[in-house]
Amino acid sequence: MTINSNPSRVTIKVLEQMKNEGEKISMLTAYDYSFAKIIDEAGIDIILVGDSASNVMAGHETTLPITLDQMIYHASSVIRAVKRALVVVDLPFGTYQADSKEALKSAIRIMKESGAHAVKLEGGHLAKESIERILQAGIPVMGHLGLTPQSIYKFGTYTVRAKDDVEAKTLIDDSKMLEKIGCFSIVLEKIPNVLAKKVALNLKLPIIGIGAGSDVDGQVLVSHDMLGMNKDFSPRFLRRYLDLDSLVSNAVKKYSSDIKSGSFPNKDEQY
């Protein structure tokens, strides 16, 4: 029997059990009610209201511009649709870096105003104090290491992280620290498979990868990318499950030509 087919609600305890029993965890982003409903009913374990909303919903080049109010709006829409998945919401850039009190206030706003189940934030030792304060308030925290898109202007590129020994050691130390202080899970983004495997093997908490290979406890992708809504984004780690861009485009073209030819609406489609 798999746990996945079973729980009526995915909780942090369920995720822990899944790791212990070797059952992989599925995670996908959602930003609105309609997609969240489909994704939840399809049985995804964790729904992430990612700050990637800044890119795929708002059209910004980076994740930096999205605000706390906007994240709360997306998260509330998702929460209204979800019955089974654990809903995790990203703390956006600028809402937790200044000091730990501000970080806690931001996390509380997300939990209170959206009804989300947990928050995610980027960073290791530099974010430690903020994460500890949020955890002390009883809010579950998911960590995020490796490529952390909110620091894109520090990195300069979206290339694979932690390829050298120094950065790899920092990542290992940070992941151990995140487990020790009480994070319930960590996302590892765009790092070598061997390093991700080492982290997943050495830690008890579930490790979710994106571009981190198959030897971790679960996988996450941005829904717009895996559904093929973004032709211009083709990193090696992305598998497209649909060509939604073409499907929607063809439907819209047909609709438009049906209007122009007078074939829509027909007699059965009017009162």
148 binds ligand KIV per the rule CB under 6 A: no
Interface positions, 150-189, toward ligand KIV (CB under 6 A): 187, 189
Beta partners for 142?
120, 185
Burial-class residue 151 by CB neighbours within 10 Å (0-12, 13-18, 19+). middle
Q: Which is nearer to ligand KIV, 48 or 86 (CB)?
A: 48
d(CA 145, CA 123): 6
28: helix, coil or strand? strand
Please tell me the distance from the alpha carbon of residue 206 to that of residue 185, in angstroms, as a whole number.
Answer: 5
Member of 23, 40, 45, 90 binding ligand KIV (CB under 6 A)? 90
Pairing of strands 207-210, 218-221: parallel
The token duo for 100 is 């730990």
Q: Is 45 in the site for ligand KIV (CB under 6 A)?
A: no
Measure the CA–CA gap between 199 and 211, rounded to whole angstroms.
14
Per CB under 6 A, contacts with ligand KIV among 227-256 are none
**Which of 23, 122, 179, 189 does the annotation list as catalytic?**
189
User: Which range binds ligand KIV by CB under 6 A, 43-51, 70-78, 158-166, 243-251?
Assistant: 43-51
Q: Does 26 bind ligand KIV (CB under 6 A)?
A: no
**51 contacts ligand KIV (rule: CB under 6 A):** yes
**Whole-angstrom Cα Rg for the chain:** 20
Nearer to ligand KIV by C-beta: 59 or 262?
A: 59
Please identify which residue in 78, 145, 162, 220 interacts with ligand KIV, judged by CB under 6 A: 220
Closer by beta carbon to ligand KIV, 5 or else 70: 70
Ranked by CB distance to ligand KIV, the top (closest) residue is 50
b vs e for 35-53, b when ≥16 Cβ sit within 10 Å of the residue's Cβ?
bbbebbeeebbbbbbbbbb
189 vs 217, beta carbon nearer ligand KIV: 189
Sheet strands (E) in 77-235: 86-90, 118-122, 141-146, 185-189, 207-210, 218-221
Q: Contacts with ligand KIV: how many residues (CB under 6 A)?
A: 11
Neighbours of 6 (CB within 10 A): 10
Catalytic-residue membership of 132: no
CB-nearer residue toward ligand KIV: 10 or 53: 53
Question: Quick one: which segment of 10-18, 45-53, 65-73, 231-239 binds ligand KIV (CB under 6 A)?
Answer: 45-53
Identify which range of 17-25, 49-57, 246-254, 255-263 contacts ligand KIV by CB under 6 A. 49-57
Question: ∠ at Cα 123 (118, 86), nearest 5°?
Answer: 20
Interaction of residue 52 with ligand KIV, rule CB under 6 A: yes
Q: With binding defined as CB under 6 A, does residue 222 bind ligand KIV? A: yes
User: Catalytic residue positions?
Assistant: 189
Judged by the rule CB under 6 A, the positions of this chain that interact with ligand KIV are 29, 48, 50-52, 90, 187, 189, 210, 220, 222
